[in-house]
Structure formats: structure tokens, C-alpha cells
Amino acid sequence: MFTKLASQSDLPGLNEAKEFPCGGKTVCVANVNGEISAMENTCLHRGGPLGQGVISGGKVVCPWHGWEWDPKTGEAGPPGAKVAVYPVKIEGGDVLVEM
């Protein structure tokens, strides 16, 4: 089931990331070259807030220690490091996410 996360006008700018509350969680929304994706906001390394990071080379870079996360797969450099990725769709100016 898709839930409204934000309005399309609230999305992060080109090659930026942003945090959004959704239910009891915080979601990292990334805009990589115009493609919107949503993933778990907590870095598995030390719990850094991914949505406060930057986009570099198509990855979301954690602001605390620089771990790089692929917003499409949820995977980072270390083997087995993976966060949840959530399906996103935009309908009628609303950003919807499926948790």
C-alpha cells in the first residue's frame, strides 16, 4: 500500500538528498540525475542520517563517515551492507512511498 510521503514540490533538488518522516520512520529521498528514490535513512555503519548527506557519483554519501549507498539497491561498499529501498511513485503532485 502506498502512503503519501510529501508533495512533489518538497522533493530534494537535482543531485540532493532529504529526510522525510513517514509513519514511525524517517525516509531518505534522493534525487539522482532527476530520478527519485527512497530508502531507509539510517546508515548501518554508525547510524548516520543518510538524508542529510550529499549525492556523489550517483550514491548517497553518509554525512558522518562517508559510506556510499546506492539509492536504487540500498547497497553500500562493504559486502552484505544493505538498507531497505522503498518503491516510489508520483501521482497528482503527491509523492507516494510503499513501506
Question: Using one digit for the tens of pLDDT, what is the confidence trace for 6-23?
Answer: 999 999 999 999 999 998
CA gap 69, 1 in Å, rounded: 25
Distance CA 29, CA 31 (A): 7
CA atoms within 13 A on the CB side of 91: 8
Predicted TM-score of the model (pTM):
0.95
Domains of the chain: 2-98 (2.102.10.10)
pLDDT tens track for 32-59: 999 999 999 999 999 999 999 999 999 9
Q: What share of the chain is helix, strand, coil (3-state, %, to 5)?
A: 5, 50, 40
The whole-number pLDDT of residue 78 equals: 85
- Cβ–Cβ < 8 Å for 96, 6: no
